[in-house]
């Protein structure tokens, strides 16, 4: 770190003490390779300082990245001027209330709804699938699209797979749709596509995001090339990063360098998993089953091309086209009172952090969540509730 020492003695003392603090933090955080962690954290601090603005905000869009950042306390190693925020990276959270309503309505109409566990707890306009189940509707938890198909094979009843998740998970839904599922199986797709929402969030004036960290395993399927047009159009750098603490630090170090140098390009820092083209076979499956359409993401905005819906040739497997969905009967209820204070939308847009929410950790906790961000293991609020989001340096 000698190269970072300025000439003025006052500054030298300052940097030396920051360096000591960083060393202490790195020791406490128990990195697998503390020396590399210290170097990367030093690079992030030095480059952020060279940018000369505060704050410098960069965004990631992945619940697993936030889990790793919070779990390993990485924010304690970042300089104060660097703001690493989570954007709309939780698929459960961004599923819009009317989409949950469709699942709830179908369940109340007597169909068997299968979905991922967290989806049962997320409230629509008036009810969650759990609420519907408590009133007698049949709802089953599955871990995968294949299990939903198995469930359909084991019964004569109509089974609707309420399919949520980003493109990585939509690929699995596409694969079961293409492998001749039984006639009593259909899909209610709430799948979402990440690249279009990055454009929306990048343009929010409150955010001033200067770069994106893209999720490694999602890019395994899409390839990193998919971000090139985005980087060019919005003049923002994108770095693909893995999930080890050191992968994330290395990704952030490269990202702040690109911000400093004004280089809006895509850099792949996870080559052991991600290629430029991605998994072509998976992409072919995905786009042969789904087409992108515009739609709302909960709390964020209407996202052009952000929702994945079944193509016409799969209409016979599309629950929306196979069954009349009676939403009107649901909307006789009054909406829950607390939800008005919930700032999940601002949190998912990266405008606010959970600590700015007056419900966080009080009325809204994992056992009795008010907002969707406290429901899922990938939701910012649940992650911060478990690990803390921004560790206080004094306590480390």
Partner 1 sequence: MCLGVPGKVISVQGSVAVVDFWGVRRQVSLDIVDEPVAPGDYILNHVGFAIRRIPEEDIGGTLSLYEGLLKEAGADDLMASDVRGEIAGTRRGNG
User: What's the CA gap between 234 and 218, in Å, rounded?
Assistant: 21
3-class state of residue 278 by DSSP: coil
User: What's the CA gap between 114 and 148, in Å, rounded?
Assistant: 6
Closest of 348, 352, 380 to residue 364, by C-alpha:
380
How near is the Cβ of 316 to partner 1 at its closest, in Å?
A: 20
How near is the Cβ of 382 to partner 1 at its closest, in Å?
A: 7
How near is the Cβ of 89 to partner 1 at its closest, in Å?
A: 8
Task: Pick from 2, 7, 32, 332 the residue near partner 1 by CB under 8 A.
Answer: 32
Q: Which stretch binds partner 1 (CB under 8 A): 42-50, 213-221, 330-338, 356-364?
A: 213-221
Task: Pick from 256, 378, 380, 389 the residue near partner 1 by CB under 8 A.
Answer: 378
Asked if residue 285 binds partner 1 (CB under 8 A), the reply is yes
User: What's the CA gap between 327 and 151, in Å, rounded?
Assistant: 26
User: What's the CA gap between 184 and 67, in Å, rounded?
Assistant: 38
Q: Which stretch binds partner 1 (CB under 8 A): 13-21, 162-170, 205-213, 309-317?
A: 162-170
Strands 112-115 and 139-141: parallel
Q: How many CB atoms lie within 10 A of CB 329?
A: 10
How near is the Cβ of 367 to partner 1 at its closest, in Å?
A: 12
User: What's the CA gap between 78 and 41, in Å, rounded?
Assistant: 7
Task: Pick from 25, 48, 57, 67 the residue near partner 1 by CB under 8 A.
Answer: 67
Query: Which residue, 53 or 178, is less far from partner 1 as judged by CB?
Result: 178
Q: Which stretch binds partner 1 (CB under 8 A): 10-18, 49-57, 107-115, 170-178?
A: 170-178
| CA-to-CA separations, 286 to 69, 78, 217, 227, 334, in angstroms, rounded | 30, 38, 16, 18, 38
Asked if residue 65 binds partner 1 (CB under 8 A), the reply is yes
| 314: Cβ contacts below 8 Å, ≥ 6 apart | 177, 289
Site size for partner 1 (CB under 8 A): 46
Closest of 88, 41, 72, 89 to residue 388, by C-alpha:
72
Is residue 184 a contact partner of residue 214, using CB atoms and an 8 Å limit?
Answer: no
Site for partner 1 in 75-114 (CB under 8 A): 89
How near is the Cβ of 97 to partner 1 at its closest, in Å?
A: 22
Q: Which stretch binds partner 1 (CB under 8 A): 6-14, 63-71, 102-110, 152-160?
A: 63-71
- Two tokens at 243? 């999930």
Query: Which residue, 102 or 118, is less far from partner 1 as judged by CB?
Result: 118
Query: Which residue, 68 or 303, is less far from partner 1 as judged by CB?
Result: 68
Query: Which residue, 78 or 116, is less far from partner 1 as judged by CB?
Result: 116
Query: Which residue, 218 or 330, is less far from partner 1 as judged by CB?
Result: 218
Query: Which residue, 141 or 327, is less far from partner 1 as judged by CB?
Result: 141
Asked if residue 348 binds partner 1 (CB under 8 A), the reply is no
Q: Does 55 sit behind a cis peptide bond, omega within 30 degrees of 0 on the bond before it?
A: yes
Cross-strand bridge partners of residue 159: 112, 185
Rg (CA), the chain: 22
Task: Pick from 80, 280, 291, 358 the residue near partner 1 by CB under 8 A.
Answer: 280
Q: Which stretch binds partner 1 (CB under 8 A): 42-50, 99-107, 236-244, 356-364?
A: 236-244
| 38: Cβ contacts below 8 Å, ≥ 6 apart | 22, 23, 26
Site pattern 116..155 for partner 1 (x: CB under 8 A)? -x-------------------------xxxxx--x-----
Asked if residue 339 binds partner 1 (CB under 8 A), the reply is no
Task: Pick from 290, 343, 383, 389 the residue near partner 1 by CB under 8 A.
Answer: 383
User: What's the CA gap between 173 and 167, in Å, rounded?
Assistant: 10
Q: What is the dihedral of CA 183, 184, 185, 188, to 10 degrees?
A: 120
In the complex, the residues that contact partner 1 under the rule CB under 8 A are 32, 62-65, 67-68, 71, 89, 117, 143-147, 150, 166, 168-169, 171-172, 175, 178-179, 215-218, 220-221, 242-244, 272-273, 279-282, 285, 377-378, 382-383, 386-387
């Amino acid at each position: 770190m000698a190269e970072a020492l300025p000439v003025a003695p006052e500054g030298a003392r300052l940097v030396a003490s920051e360096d000591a603090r960083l060393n202490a933090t790195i020791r406490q955080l128990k990195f697998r390779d503390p020396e590399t962690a210290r170097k990367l954290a030093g690079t992030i601090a030095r480059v952020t300082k060279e940018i000369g603005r505060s704050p410098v905000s960069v965004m990631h869009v992945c619940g697993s990245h936030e889990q790793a950042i919070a779990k390993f306390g990485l924010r304690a190693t970042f300089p104060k001027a660097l703001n690493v925020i989570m954007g709309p990276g939780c698929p459960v959270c961004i599923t819009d209330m009317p989409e949950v309503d469709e699942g709830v309505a179908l369940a109340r109409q007597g169909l068997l709804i299968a979905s991922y566990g967290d989806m049962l707890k997320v409230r629509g306009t008036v009810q969650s699938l759990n609420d519907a189940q408590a009133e007698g509707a049949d709802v089953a938890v599955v871990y995968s699209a294949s299990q939903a198909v198995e469930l359909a094979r084991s019964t004569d009843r109509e089974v609707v797979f309420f399919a949520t998740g980003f493109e990585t998970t939509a690929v699995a839904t596409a694969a079961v749709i293409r492998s001749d599922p039984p006639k009593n199986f259909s899909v209610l797709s709430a799948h979402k596509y990440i690249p279009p929402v990055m454009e929306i969030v990048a343009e929010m004036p409150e955010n001033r995001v200067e770069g994106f960290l893209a999720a490694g395993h999602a890019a395994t399927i899409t390839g990193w090339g998919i971000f090139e047009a985005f980087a060019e159009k919005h003049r923002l750098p994108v770095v693909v990063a893995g999930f080890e603490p050191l992968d994330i630090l290395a990704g952030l170090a490269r990202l702040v360098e690109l911000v400093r140098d004004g280089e809006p390009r895509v850099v792949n820092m996870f080559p052991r998993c991600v290629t430029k083209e991605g998994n072509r076979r998976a992409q072919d499956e995905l786009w042969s089953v789904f087409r992108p359409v515009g739609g709302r993401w909960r709390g964020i905005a209407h996202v052009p091309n952000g929702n994945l819906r079944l193509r016409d040739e799969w209409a016979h497997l599309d629950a929306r086209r196979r069954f009349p969905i009676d939403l009107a009967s649901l909307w006789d209820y009054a909406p829950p009172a607390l939800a008005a204070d919930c700032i999940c939308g601002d949190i998912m847009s990266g405008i606010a952090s959970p600590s700015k929410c007056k419900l966080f950790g009080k009325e809204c906790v994992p056992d009795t969540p008010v907002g969707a961000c406290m429901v899922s293991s990938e939701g910012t609020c649940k992650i911060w509730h478990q690990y803390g989001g921004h560790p206080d340096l004094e306590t480390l």
